[in-house]
Amino acid sequence: QRLGMVEAIWGEHKSAEQIARILEELHRAGELALVTRVSPEKAEAVAALLGRERGEAWLLQHHPQARCLSAGLLPSPESRLGRVAVLSGGTSDLPVAAEAQLALACHGIATELVLDVGVAGLHRLLERLEDLRHADVLIACAGMEGALPTVLAGLLPQPVIGVPVAVGYGVSAGGVAALHGMLASCAPGLTVVNIDNGYGAAMAALRILGCGPGRSAAWTQGS
Amino acid sequence: QRLGMVEAIWGEHKSAEQIARILEELHRAGELALVTRVSPEKAEAVAALLGRERGEAWLLQHHPQARCLSAGLLPSPESRLGRVAVLSGGTSDLPVAAEAQLALACHGIATELVLDVGVAGLHRLLERLEDLRHADVLIACAGMEGALPTVLAGLLPQPVIGVPVAVGYGVSAGGVAALHGMLASCAPGLTVVNIDNGYGAAMAALRILGCGPGRSAAWTQGS
Amino acid sequence: QRLGMVEAIWGEHKSAEQIARILEELHRAGELALVTRVSPEKAEAVAALLGRERGEAWLLQHHPQARCLSAGLLPSPESRLGRVAVLSGGTSDLPVAAEAQLALACHGIATELVLDVGVAGLHRLLERLEDLRHADVLIACAGMEGALPTVLAGLLPQPVIGVPVAVGYGVSAGGVAALHGMLASCAPGLTVVNIDNGYGAAMAALRILGCGPGRSAAWTQGS
Amino acid sequence: QRLGMVEAIWGEHKSAEQIARILEELHRAGELALVTRVSPEKAEAVAALLGRERGEAWLLQHHPQARCLSAGLLPSPESRLGRVAVLSGGTSDLPVAAEAQLALACHGIATELVLDVGVAGLHRLLERLEDLRHADVLIACAGMEGALPTVLAGLLPQPVIGVPVAVGYGVSAGGVAALHGMLASCAPGLTVVNIDNGYGAAMAALRILGCGPGRSAAWTQGS
Amino acid sequence: QRLGMVEAIWGEHKSAEQIARILEELHRAGELALVTRVSPEKAEAVAALLGRERGEAWLLQHHPQARCLSAGLLPSPESRLGRVAVLSGGTSDLPVAAEAQLALACHGIATELVLDVGVAGLHRLLERLEDLRHADVLIACAGMEGALPTVLAGLLPQPVIGVPVAVGYGVSAGGVAALHGMLASCAPGLTVVNIDNGYGAAMAALRILGCGPGRSAAWTQGS
Amino acid sequence: QRLGMVEAIWGEHKSAEQIARILEELHRAGELALVTRVSPEKAEAVAALLGRERGEAWLLQHHPQARCLSAGLLPSPESRLGRVAVLSGGTSDLPVAAEAQLALACHGIATELVLDVGVAGLHRLLERLEDLRHADVLIACAGMEGALPTVLAGLLPQPVIGVPVAVGYGVSAGGVAALHGMLASCAPGLTVVNIDNGYGAAMAALRILGCGPGRSAAWTQGS
Amino acid sequence: QRLGMVEAIWGEHKSAEQIARILEELHRAGELALVTRVSPEKAEAVAALLGRERGEAWLLQHHPQARCLSAGLLPSPESRLGRVAVLSGGTSDLPVAAEAQLALACHGIATELVLDVGVAGLHRLLERLEDLRHADVLIACAGMEGALPTVLAGLLPQPVIGVPVAVGYGVSAGGVAALHGMLASCAPGLTVVNIDNGYGAAMAALRILGCGPGRSAAWTQGS
Amino acid sequence: QRLGMVEAIWGEHKSAEQIARILEELHRAGELALVTRVSPEKAEAVAALLGRERGEAWLLQHHPQARCLSAGLLPSPESRLGRVAVLSGGTSDLPVAAEAQLALACHGIATELVLDVGVAGLHRLLERLEDLRHADVLIACAGMEGALPTVLAGLLPQPVIGVPVAVGYGVSAGGVAALHGMLASCAPGLTVVNIDNGYGAAMAALRILGCGPGRSAAWTQGS
Ligand SMILES: Nc1ncnc2c1ncn2[C@@H]1O[C@H](COP(=O)(O)O)[C@@H](O)[C@H]1O
Ligand SMILES: Nc1ncnc2c1ncn2[C@@H]1O[C@H](COP(=O)(O)O)[C@@H](O)[C@H]1O
Ligand SMILES: Nc1ncnc2c1ncn2[C@@H]1O[C@H](COP(=O)(O)O)[C@@H](O)[C@H]1O
Ligand SMILES: Nc1ncnc2c1ncn2[C@@H]1O[C@H](COP(=O)(O)O)[C@@H](O)[C@H]1O
Ligand SMILES: [Mg+2]
Ligand SMILES: [Mg+2]
Ligand SMILES: [Mg+2]
Ligand SMILES: [Mg+2]
Ligand SMILES: [Mg+2]
Ligand SMILES: [Mg+2]
Ligand SMILES: [Mg+2]
Ligand SMILES: [Mg+2]
């Protein structure tokens, strides 16, 4: 918690036993916990290991879209802390966008999801532009050629965090084409996180929302 | 000429002596010749080897922007054969765009150059959209993240040929990020040629302009 | 439909639920729909979700060779709109070739399949050359070293679209060797789409068939 | 200026003639201009093309460490707009750090340079930690294995922007090892820009400093 | 045994039949055997092939954490032969750390496991520093960006062997980012083995412990 | 000479001093020597170091096309030892083809050069097919997509050795596209050497010509 | 059969139905057939499709070690046609070695298998050296670092064909490290085929055995 | 000096001015200094900047083979501290081997150079085997396929440090083939440093020589 962030556990390479043990420790310490990259089967196994009742008492919850497990009470969102818009090019990017939204929700940050605004159908993005002006930070998730954050950062002045998504095939399989497209972007001031790293984008947004004099005040009150 | 294309020589790895020898052969055969990737120094050396007078007689001409050498009379453009628009994101893409224009000019095809329409400044592209509707084929040259042909192919129904340009640094150095961005494009029906291959894009446009019943007629008259 | 193309949904990373929901929307809008990269199991699940009767009413159809799902009445092919030849090096490239054929069929374009004309057995390709002269556009699918479109574009003057196929092992696994072979081709004017992108090649052919004065007329009548 | 950013020209692939022409246009429009990636020789050539007097009148200035050219009056730094710390692992990263500092200086943002804090000599970084708490944004430039931003983001809660530097040899030549190290970082919320992109990191910091309610007020007064 | 090392068999691409046959040969020769990369299922199959009794007589043992099979009496650890510390950044690196520990145990070398000392939480590593001064060799296993061995080698003077771990996703999937981070390290004298090669790191430590005049004496007595 | 091959020195990374010293040693031992990858400048420097007279006495000779230096009497070619055809796609491949020819000439093997038979102009290759039937071994040098050896091996039954050439740009720069095209070839029994390795292809041909009962006899007489 | 080679079908991406259909055609034409990359399950399915009796009549046979299916009478080996030694570094390379042996057996060529001669245990290779002198061609299969063919080609004068094997993990996973090691070899005249391409190595050996005057005679009698 | 190592400065990306300034600081602190990757021209410029006399007083010395600059008195080698053998495959690897030797000499460690023992001429290595038994640590430098350390580690029980060398062309250009060959090695306990990192290999040897009880005593006396 040194950094004021909720404890997050990367679940992908951990067994249900290892996850259950970590959750018990965090529960004893009275901390909210977020486990990412958890399949429905593994979530089920963790719940079984902890026992039905304990799971309920701990508010253990599986978020299938975000592929996450949370344990503890999620704070209610406070718009005073800032607004984050999470955009995505298509339905296939949803799990990554949902991971970012949940990670922010764990810190009481409200998010808005703006779906299906891929650059091959530019009008859909342009229609949403006015709404987006009200966001403090923009998180843009995109697979394939990953051009969405580039176009966005050319249209709006806020911080834009690009999240390449491992959706695609051929040269875009694995998300490297999207990653390189975002890093190579001709739009000034776009920053990028690892492929599929919705959680990391959320934490970067959190760092931004908490930064600077005006903000700090709001944040000090807020937490 | 089997394919009805002007003889093109790839000059990059050839010595001035080798180029001069090939030009002599083509001149004897009465053919127009286009040598690509020729530096001013090499062009000078070829001209010196051929001799001033002969060079003039052959209409030997260096095109510094396109980095090409032509020998023979370029046909005057006939709009009846079709119109090609060549677009580029920035000044740095000019040599590639110019190579495409010259290669088409060698076949009597008129082209229009649409500069500085990179996707980070979308309004500049949107302003030119109506003009672009009149082109038969669109050739879009772009470096860095290479998103221009994607956005273009989402806005217009014509054939779009993407030419990745080896302009950039870090992950975009060498043009592979742009190439992959174009191949991975979420816009349907965009095709791509090798990095910096302005000549290839021109020949693809030529094949397209010559195709189909209506077209064939025009072409038969034309050549 | 902005581009006059049938709505295509990339099914690979979508759940049966997501696909069913999208098909319902398109059906309500009275549109023909094409879903690509759908396994027999997923196709079955979508059909079950929609209900047998509704599925029938919508003319829901799974095309196992092409790995696609279509919903709605496929137009009957009109040769007036142009002829496309789809070539492939071997049996293993069939799914990609079939995807291209089906995508064109959705737009009323007739195609001819020319199988087993790999360059290691050149005589089989040479035997078919005369037939191929009658096609307006050539789509050449090839895995391994991907030399087929190069040889083809050296022999014929029409537009040639190369589709690298992810068939092979060792250095050709994943299709990148074929992709690079096509991009690096010494044949002038060959264009390329992403690995396995039969759909994209079809849409590129469609853009070509619809281009130019003569063509436009035919097309305006046609649609 | 749509985004409130000083016009920046990427000088690397542009000729002195092209740069001089763009500077003239911007001068006529009364705008401050920043040209990046300009060698001393090219800077000299641009100055010669513009003419000594005009150059002086325009406040044309070459910044050799940052490899940039500026034309126009740089605003005096206003600490009210926020403080940015620029860190670097070693002397070899200086050009990139200096580009970031200059790009921020063009927008009136004060920066502090914290040199030689590579992670192989951790005590040097730990000694500076208290100072760094006062910065609003941290830009960390690092070559070789690029671990500096990771360690930093584990110690401090502010936004951290990692800039991989193309310094190294063998597997670290070109900066990809540093880039991947930063993207793969186990520290939450670190964001990354392209290799050597000091300018981009500065613009990302600018977006962050301008974001949020408290900040906006300060910024509105400021500009 | 030419090199004084226990016979190790790499089990990953071998069938249970092939492993059983090799174990029989080694047993006949009276040798201790270590089979690496053996899944629980394959271990079970080998045991079944050998027969329950024989398995017991041979002291056949599956080590699930280390994914290994041993046959024969493991020597008791002799601290006189040297002490090796095995460090890891997180729970996910455990299988690789355990393989290294087991391979050293087969040679009578005592090891200490130091878990969860990733560089994003530097204080945990700094707390363990004094203990680590007593180790003769340090083996540091790390995935993602792989910065642990770099930081370690900057703090301590002993031999440090970095083992990149194939834990991560996006650019760190497969362990190459960690490998390159270790090779590119700015800490002097860090050496590296292949990704996931806990066994190789152990054998390198063994070579080191056995080297030099003082050591040789201890070792000669020891074996 | 253990293998019956003329001593070859790879000159690329060696200084003129190092080459001169090695040539002196070989001359003292009475051996013919071949130094590859020697620029005209380095050849000149070696000759100067050895002294004009000595150079002449040693029959020191620079072969600019092949970029090689030979010292000693080249044997006269004996067709009895076998015939090798060296093919190349274009003028740009000549240096590599010439290196192969010279290396074979050093062993008394006669070669025939078949130029400009690239697969984009198939008829030129087909015209030469009958001649090629008389060769014992075929060495095919090709850059860009490297399809020549594939087509060749599909047409003729002899051993075919593919030499990828580092001629091209974009995806074919450096020769990897050609290398992968040859390795991925669908023609059975094609073998490959490193990019630009004309010398290696020659030595492979030599091994082949010397192999088998019939051959051995001829060779025993021959040497 | 244009090349005098048995018809080989690459089975990996073909369905049992497609394989059965091709075998029927070849059977009707009275030809021996070899299908490579066939799993036991697929082999079973093909046999079932053809029917037990027909399968027997056709001498349909699955070779599990070589992962192949043959249909027709394998000729008895004739040593007069030449001897091929197939070497491998370890048990894990067996499937590739076996594929090479079977493909040669289909052409009546006798092979000898020399197992477990990896370069980390050099004495085992040196012990077999005298035997190997009697082979006409050497096929060396090796995974991991792939050094076996290099050491071999340094010790023996015959043609050596290296087959990289996709055995390994980390940097050697997939066989590219072995492939590059063989191509980069400092041993003169080593040639290479694609990763795991035992069949290709066999066909290259066949081309070699059939080449040259002495050999041709033997072969003409032989077939 | 925290680690007891002589201060080393990586000179490649530093200007002569920067190097001179660092040397002045170290001289004031009374420390021996080693600057690596310094060309003759840069060495000359540094000497000029410091002034002839001061340079002499400081014992400033350029080591052209090792491409290094040292300032201060090199200690005389003490064999009591251990013996290191530095091996290399060919003349082209000398600069890397010399860097390793010089870096050890700076710490009073005696080294022996064993040249021209590449694995394609195995007998030369085998002849030196007995000598090598007396070394405490083996540093093996190799370019191309990099098999030398593998063969060495299979023959001798000491610590072996592989240094891949960026010597080669085609797939071995840049040294990655050698690096991967060493990491993928089938010889147990081989460790590796970055390409061309002679300095790093020396520091790893130093860590090893200083490790363990017997050694520590010798070292405590020694320093
Ligand atoms: N800039 C270029 N890029 C790609 N291909 C080219 C270029 N210039 C010429 N070519 C092609 O290269 C062929 C000539 O190659 P060469 O025989 O080496 O001169 C021509 O037939 C053209 O198809
Ligand atoms: N060093 C730099 N790195 C990345 N982007 C830059 C750099 N310098 C300028 N730019 C961006 O490139 C754009 C100008 O590109 P251009 O039109 O080619 O000069 C500017 O709007 C900046 O966003
Ligand atoms: N152009 C070349 N390409 C590949 N290998 C070569 C070449 N020239 C010489 N060699 C090989 O390199 C060895 C000599 O390497 P070196 O000792 O470094 O001169 C010779 O025995 C040849 O096998
Ligand atoms: N040739 C070299 N290769 C790798 N690391 C080096 C080399 N020379 C110096 N170093 C390391 O780089 C550090 C100095 O980097 P710098 O501060 O940039 O001079 C030293 O502490 C050494 O650990
Ligand atoms: Mg969509
Ligand atoms: Mg621009
Ligand atoms: Mg076939
Ligand atoms: Mg430093
Ligand atoms: Mg952890
Ligand atoms: Mg040609
Ligand atoms: Mg073995
Ligand atoms: Mg040598």
Question: What pLDDT is attached to residue E211?
Answer: 66
Question: What pLDDT is attached to residue C223?
Answer: 42
Question: What pLDDT is attached to residue C214?
Answer: 46
To the nearest 10°, the Cα dihedral for B49, B54, B56, B58? -100
The span from the CA of G212 to the CA of A60, in Å, is: 77
Contacts of G171 in chain E (CB under 8 A): 176, 179, 194-195
How close B50 gets to chain F, by Cα (Å)?
19
Query: Which ligand ends up closest to the CA of B95?
Result: 1
How close F168 gets to chain B, by Cα (Å)?
8
**Closest to E93 measured CA to CA, from E120, E72, E113:** E113
Average pLDDT over residues G24-33: 94
Nearest CA in chain B to C162: B191
The span from the CA of H212 to the CA of D29, in Å, is: 72
Average pLDDT over residues D89-116: 95
Nearest CA in chain C to F118: C186
Q: Is the pLDDT of residue G180 over 50?
A: yes
Say yes or no for a CB contact (<8 Å) between G90 and H186. yes
Q: What is the pairing mode between strands G33-36 and G68-71?
A: antiparallel
Question: What pLDDT is attached to residue A90?
Answer: 87
Higher pLDDT, A3 or A8: A8
Beta strands in E37-184 (DSSP E): 61-63, 68-71, 83-88, 110-114, 137-142, 160-164
Question: What pLDDT is attached to residue B153?
Answer: 96
Decide: helix, strand or coil at residue E204. Answer: helix
Cβ of residue F9 lying under 6 Å from some atom of ligand 3: yes
Probe residue for ligand 3, chosen from H88, H91, H96 as the CB with the greatest number of ligand atoms within 8 Å: H91
Question: What pLDDT is attached to residue D55?
Answer: 87
The angle formed by the CA atoms of residues D62, D67 and D69, to the nearest 5 degrees, is: 35
Average pLDDT over residues A125-151: 96
Residue E44 phi/psi, 5° resolution? -60, -45
pLDDT digits (tens, 9 = 90+) for H34-83: 999 999 999 999 999 999 888 889 999 999 999 999 999 999 999 889 99
SS3 track for chain D: CCCCCCEEEECCCCCHHHHHHHHHHHHHCCCCEEEECCCHHHHHHHHHHHCHHHHHHCCCEEECCCCEEEECCCCCCCHHHCEEEEEECCHHHHHHHHHHHHHHHCCCCEEEEECCCCHHHHHHHHHCHHHHCCCCEEEEEECCCCCHHHHHHHHCCCCEEEEECCCCCHHHHHHHHHHHHHHCCCCCCEEECCCCCHHHHHHHHHHHHCCCHHHHHHHHHHC
Please report, in tens digits, the pLDDT of each residue of chain B (223 residues total): 457 899 899 999 999 999 999 999 999 999 999 999 999 999 999 999 999 888 888 999 999 999 999 999 999 999 889 999 999 998 899 999 999 999 999 999 999 999 999 998 899 999 999 999 999 999 999 999 999 999 999 999 999 999 999 999 999 999 999 999 999 998 999 999 999 999 999 999 999 998 654 455 555 544 4
Query: Which ligand ends up closest to the CA of H18?
Result: 4
Question: What pLDDT is attached to residue H171?
Answer: 97
Say yes or no for a CB contact (<8 Å) between F145 and C119. no
The span from the CA of E70 to the CA of D215, in Å, is: 64
pLDDT digits (tens, 9 = 90+) for E77-120: 998 899 999 999 988 999 999 999 999 999 999 999 999 999 98
* One-letter amino acid of D192: V
Question: What pLDDT is attached to residue E1?
Answer: 44
The span from the CA of A157 to the CA of A135, in Å, is: 10
Q: Is the pLDDT of residue F162 over 90?
A: yes
Question: What pLDDT is attached to residue F193?
Answer: 98
Q: Which two tokens stand for residue G43?
A: 């082999």
Could you tell me how many residues make up chain C?
223
Question: What pLDDT is attached to residue H194?
Answer: 98
Q: What is the DSSP letter of C81?
A: G
Of ligand 3's atoms, which has the minimum distance to the CA of residue G189? Answer: 23
Contacts of B92 in chain D (CB under 8 A): 10, 12-14
Residue ranges lining ligand 4, Cβ < 6 Å: D 90-92; E 186, 188; H 8-10, 36-37, 197, 199-200
Chain B neighbours (≥3 Cβ pairs under 8 A) are A, C, D, F
Contacts of B197 in chain F (CB under 8 A): 169-170
Average pLDDT over residues E191-196: 98
Helix locations, B106-184, DSSP H: 122-127, 129-132, 148-155, 176-183
Maximum distance among all Cα pairs of chain C, rounded to whole angstroms: 54
The span from the CA of E38 to the CA of A73, in Å, is: 42
Contacts of E210 in chain H (CB under 8 A): 157-158
Residues in Cβ contact with B48 at an 8 Å cutoff, skipping those fewer than 6 apart: none
Closest partner residue to C14 (CB to CB) among A92, A121, A169 is A92
Question: What pLDDT is attached to residue H188?
Answer: 94
Q: Which domains does chain H have, with CATH numbers?
A: 7-71 (3.30.110), 79-209 (3.40.50.1970)
Classify the C-alpha dihedral B144-B150-B156-B158 as positive or negative: positive
To the nearest 10°, the Cα dihedral for G32, G35, G38, G42? -60
How close F6 gets to chain G, by Cα (Å)?
11
In the block, tokens 């981009």 appear at D200
Helix (H) or strand (E) holding C45: helix C40-50
The span from the CA of H109 to the CA of H90, in Å, is: 23
Residues within 5 Å of ion ligand 5, judged at the Cβ atom: A 90
- Percent of residues, chain G, with pLDDT higher than 90: 84
Decide: helix, strand or coil at residue F192. Answer: strand
Q: Is the pLDDT of residue E124 over 70?
A: yes
Q: What is the pairing mode between strands E190-192 and B110-114?
A: unpaired
pLDDT digits (tens, 9 = 90+) for D142-176: 999 999 999 999 999 999 999 999 999 999 999 99
Probe residue for ligand 4, chosen from E150, E151, E155, E186 as the CB with the greatest number of ligand atoms within 8 Å: E186
Average pLDDT over residues F116-138: 94
D223: confidence class by pLDDT, cuts 50, 70, 90: very low
pLDDT digits (tens, 9 = 90+) for C114-142: 999 999 889 999 999 999 999 999 999 99
List the end-to-end C-alpha distance of chain F, in Å, as a whole number.
Answer: 13
How close F180 gets to chain C, by Cα (Å)?
6
pLDDT digits (tens, 9 = 90+) for A73-88: 999 999 889 999 999 9
Question: What pLDDT is attached to residue D54?
Answer: 87
Classify the C-alpha dihedral E197-E200-E202-E204 as positive or negative: negative
Residue ranges lining ligand 1, Cβ < 6 Å: B 8-10, 36-37, 197, 199-200; C 186, 188; F 90-92
Q: Are D71 and D22 in contact (CB under 8 A)?
A: no
Q: Is the pLDDT of residue G157 over 50?
A: yes
Query: Which ligand ends up closest to the CA of D124?
Result: 8
Question: What pLDDT is attached to residue D213?
Answer: 45
Closest partner residue to B170 (CB to CB) among D18, D22, D195 is D195
H164 DSSP β-pair partners:
H142
Question: What pLDDT is attached to residue G213?
Answer: 45
pLDDT digits (tens, 9 = 90+) for F189-205: 999 999 999 999 999 99
Interface residues of chain E, partner chain G, Cβ below 8 Å: 2, 10, 12-14, 18, 22, 37, 164, 166, 174-176, 179, 194-197
**Closest to B190 measured CA to CA, from C161, F35, D45, E4:** C161
Higher pLDDT, A135 or F220: A135
Burial per residue of H185-194, b for 16 or more beta-carbon CB atoms within 10 angstroms, e otherwise: bbbbbbbbbb
Closest partner residue to H214 (CB to CB) among E183, E189, E218 is E218
Decide: helix, strand or coil at residue C122. Answer: helix
Cβ of residue D71 lying under 6 Å from some atom of ligand 2: no
The span from the CA of C90 to the CA of C96, in Å, is: 11
Closest partner residue to C170 (CB to CB) among G2, G13, G195 is G195
Nearest CA in chain E to D186: E120
Q: Which residues of chain H have pLDDT under 70?
A: 1-2, 211-223
ipTM given for this complex: 0.94
